[in-house]
Amino acid sequence: MPARLFATRWHRWLEKRIPPARQVRLDQRRIFILPTPQGLMFGLALLLMLLAAINYQNSLAYGLTFLLLSLGLVTILHTYRNLAGLVLAAGEAPPVFAGEQAGFRLRLQSNGRAHRGIALGWPPAPLQAVEVEADGSSEMELFLPASQRGWLRAPRLRVESRFPLGLLVAWSWVDLDLAALVYPRPLSGELPPAGGGVADDEEPGMASTRSGVDDFQGLRPYQSGDSRRRLHWKAWSRGQGLLVKDFAELQGHDLWLDFDSLGGDREARLSLLCHWVVQLAGHEQPFGLRLPGVSRAPGSGALQRELCLRELALFGLPANPAEVRR
């Protein structure tokens, strides 16, 4: 209980001292510095050397002790200056599917001196090292596991430096307001029944065929305007000419992916719909999406894919990443 109370108060204090921002410049208010275990051993060694110098009244021992003490004091300044002035900016976080690694892009920029031996990451995972040249910049990508759909908000980022001697560590906890959209995990299964209207000249339950992507019909000669994805390269390599794979699909109504037409729990339905959104969009076949309270008109292409996947990812969840608790 005391540990949880301390963690809560520490988090609140950090929120006030280092509030979330897409770009942060490290300064004296945002940098903390303490000795490392090696630094504590160095200090203990200095204390023992001082006691020996006092006991034996040895001038050389005094001189060596104070020389090393001066080196330690100068190290404090250099360790702080190596982190001070560094600017961290958040980049894009491409959407991923549940079960994958979400990548968060960062940009580190120097407005003067070089920054050596900088390490960033989310403990307890190992920190990733990077260096920034004077008046230069460096880009990097950090990863977090995306276990479930919705918005994945990254926790506070630890930035530290032990340069130059490793006797002290200067660090900061920065919140760059990083968030990545996580789509449902695709689950293969039977295509749900299509819905929509039936043509006037067709009987219910009947459908005609037209050029599509459902069933392979055979090969035909290439015509101008045919998609390159359907080219049969093996026939071309065998010297049979440029042939195109021909498909056929049912015609008579728009193809709808309907949440209510599926069985199983909510997440299983969303995963199945996610699988078919990816498949149909990859074949450039028009389709629509129906969810409780949401209807996305039939369309095709990358835009339709992204819009439908976004609807599936955020169904029943906050649409704004700021509303998601870490």
- The pLDDT tens digits of the residues spanning 134-157 come to 999 999 999 999 999 999 999 999
Q: Are 262 and 294 in contact (CB under 8 A)?
A: no
Please state, in angstroms and rounded to a whole number, the distance separating the CA atoms of residues 276 and 281.
Answer: 8
The reported pLDDT for the residue numbered 227 is 66
CA–chain centroid gap for 226, Å, is: 36
Predicted local confidence at residue 224, as pLDDT? 66
Q: Is 226 helix (H, G, I), strand (E, B) or coil?
A: coil
**Distance between alpha carbon 246 and the CA centroid of its chain, in Å?**
39
Helices and strands, counts by H and E, the chain? 6, 17
Asked if residue 35 lies in contact with residue 75, where contact means CB atoms within 8 angstroms, the answer is no
Give every residue of the chain whose pLDDT is below 70, as ranges. Answer: 1, 191-219, 222-229, 236, 246-254, 326
The full set of domain ranges for the chain reads: 9-183, 255-323
Q: Is 9-183 a CATH 2.60.40.10 domain?
A: yes
Residue 14: predicted pLDDT = 84
What residues does 218 pair with on adjacent strands?
246
293-312 pLDDT, tens digit per residue, is: 999 999 988 999 999 999 99
Token representation of residue 172: 């900061």
Q: How far apart are CA 200 and CA 252, in angstroms?
A: 9
Which pTM was predicted? 0.74
Q: Taking the C-alpha atoms of 301, 304, 309 and 314 in order, what is their torsion angle to the nearest 10 degrees?
A: 160
